[in-house]
Amino acid sequence: LPQEELTVHVFLRYRRMGLFMGDWFVKEFRVGVGKPETPTPTGEFVVRSRMLNPNWTNPKTGKVVYYGDPTNELGDAWMAIENDEWPMSAGFGLHGTKDPKTVGTRCSNGCVRLQNPQAVELRDWVRRESAGGKATRVFIR
C-alpha cells in the first residue's frame, strides 16, 4: 500500500480538483463550486466523515431529504470537511450531484460538487482520522 499522504487540492478559479499522493499527481476532476452569494470557503480542511447514499438536510428549510429523492442535492457520495473556522456543523463538503450539468459551474451553496461516479471514486480514496491515522487534507484556494 502507498505510504505517502493523500491530499486534495481544489482550485476554485479553474473549477478543478487535483488528487495528490505525496508530491505525485494522481488524478484531476472537474468540479462545481459555490455561487457568488454562497461562496466555497478557502483554506486547509480535513475530511471528518464520508458516506455513500447520503441524506441531505436543506439548509433553508431544515427538512431532511432522503437519498434517492430527486431533490437530494448530494448525489451518491458525501465527504464532510472542516477546519477551525468552518466546523463540521457549517455543512461544507465534497459531494456528488443530482444535476450533472452543474459540474464545472458556480452552482452550490458552498460545497464542492462532482459527477456522481467521480464523487464515489473520491470517497473511496479519502480517509477520515481513525486509529491514529491522519485524515485526508483538503486545500481550497
Please give the Cα distance from 77 to 84 (Å, whole number). Answer: 24
The C-alpha cell of 1 is what?
A: 500500500
How much is the pLDDT for 82?
97
How much is the pLDDT for 4?
82
How much is the pLDDT for 3?
73
Name residue, grid cell 430527486.
Answer: 70
End-to-end CA distance of the chain: 29
Q: 3-state class of 50 per DSSP?
A: strand
How much is the pLDDT for 60?
85
User: Which residues in the chain land under pLDDT 50?
Assistant: none
How much is the pLDDT for 139?
98
How much is the pLDDT for 1?
58
Total-model pTM: 0.94
How much is the pLDDT for 73?
93
Please give the Cα distance from 116 to 119 (Å, whole number). Answer: 5
How much is the pLDDT for 131?
64
Q: Amino acid identity, residue 4?
A: E
Please give the Cα distance from 141 to 98 (Å, whole number). Answer: 25
